[in-house]
Amino acid sequence: MAKSNLTNREKRGSRANSKQRGKIKVVANQTIPFIIESNGKYSGFEIELWEMVAKEINVKFEYIKCSFQEVVPLVAAKKADVGLAAMTINEQREEVIDFSHPTFQAGLHILLSKNRTKIDFASTIRTFIFQGYKQLIKPLLVLLLIIFIFGNVLWFGERFSGSFTPTYIPGIFQAIWLSLCTIIGSDGGMLVYGVSTWYGRLILTLGQLTNLAVLGLLIGELTAFITTKKIRLHIEGPNDLKGKIVATVKDSTSEPVLKRLGAKIVLVTKIDEAYEKLRTNKVEAVVFDSPDLIYYALNNGSNWAEVVGEIFDNQDYGLVLQEDSPLRERINRALLIIRENGLYETLYKKWFGNLK
């Protein structure tokens, strides 16, 4: 195991500073498996890594629970000394805070429901009625026009045969009713009205043939809608996210990436909310940091969720520090020591196994 590179003078100085300052404030946002909070007790990969660092630089600290969106503002306002949130290092954040050396290499991944290819026909029909009505307008207009035309032709040929009232109204409504019943395949019209000429029978026969054509058209539209729905659920990588309804955490680095990809973004404050939206089919996918999604898919979501595709938009995580923080150099040095002496690798395997 490598020895600490901190000199005795530096250690004595750090102990003196710690005594003068008391406990430093560490804000932490639950981001499983990096930060896990339960009844005021903390665990997780980044928690254990920070506690190794704190021991190496000899500082005492206290955890303060906060949301992901509060971490940077609290540290930037010097209301906290360190922020733990499995946070991606980027230029925008570094305008107001500093980061430690990278603590984890990650990227974005896509989480999907394992049941995405199973079509619920009741749900599909409801969706078709309320969302796919535009696909119904054309065939319905065609159907109404056919019924109107057949009704007029039928009345004209049968108006003096006693089948219908000879005057246009109400005779035309009687003929239209019989035409409608014939086209939709019902015998109800024949029980009320009949035809007595070969002309009328020919028109009704043509109506029955038209029935098959219109029925085929409507079935074709419904089939096309279901096929389209299946295609929409076909997601294998980031390029398939265009136009899809995707949940992610507000103010995370995945938000601008999804905008660039053309996804329809649903923002949540906690990643658990995104998982629930996916489980209840309110979104089509979740995009977030790869380790979080992989850990969830292997544990709590193992029965219904899976990660697909390759990692994209590679990122580095870092500890959040105040600008020009006096702790930064000492923390960076401690991180190097922890990597050199093998503690980092042991910690990684504990939380992520062979996923590296």
User: Matching CATH topology for 121-232 and 235-311?
Assistant: no
Report the alpha-carbon distance of residue 134 to residue 131 in Å, rounded: 8
CA-closest candidate to residue 338, choices 98, 37, 45, 3: 3
CATH topology of domain 8-106+315-352: D-Maltodextrin-Binding Protein; domain 2 (3.40.190)
- 205 to 34, 202, 327: CA distances (angstroms): 72, 5, 90
Report the alpha-carbon distance of residue 32 to residue 351 in Å, rounded: 10
Give me the count of residues in the chain.
356
Strand residues in the chain grouped as ranges (E): 24-28, 36-38, 41-43, 61-65, 82-88, 98-99, 104-113, 245-249, 264-268, 285-289, 305-321
CA-closest candidate to residue 57, choices 345, 234, 321, 323: 321
pTM, two decimal places: 0.55
Report the alpha-carbon distance of residue 175 to residue 164 in Å, rounded: 7
What residues does each domain of the chain span? 8-106+315-352, 121-232, 235-311
CA-closest candidate to residue 234, choices 119, 128, 133: 119
pLDDT for the residue 57: 96
List average pLDDT for each run of 10 residues in the chain, which is 356 residues long: 44 43 89 91 96 97 95 97 95 95 93 73 56 65 78 78 79 76 58 61 71 69 57 75 93 93 94 94 93 90 92 93 96 97 94 66
SS (H, E, C) 305-317: EEEEEEEEEEEEE
The CATH number given to 235-311 is 3.40.190.10
pLDDT for the residue 87: 93
Q: Give Cβ neighbours of residue 151 (< 8 Å, ≥ 6 apart).
A: 172, 175, 176, 177, 178, 179, 180
Q: Cα 88 from chain centroid?
A: 20
Q: Give Cβ neighbours of residue 134 (< 8 Å, ≥ 6 apart).
A: none
CATH class of residue range 121-232:
mainly alpha
- 9 to 16, 93, 328, 329, 346: CA distances (angstroms): 10, 33, 18, 15, 30
Strand partners, 288: 109
pLDDT for the residue 180: 72
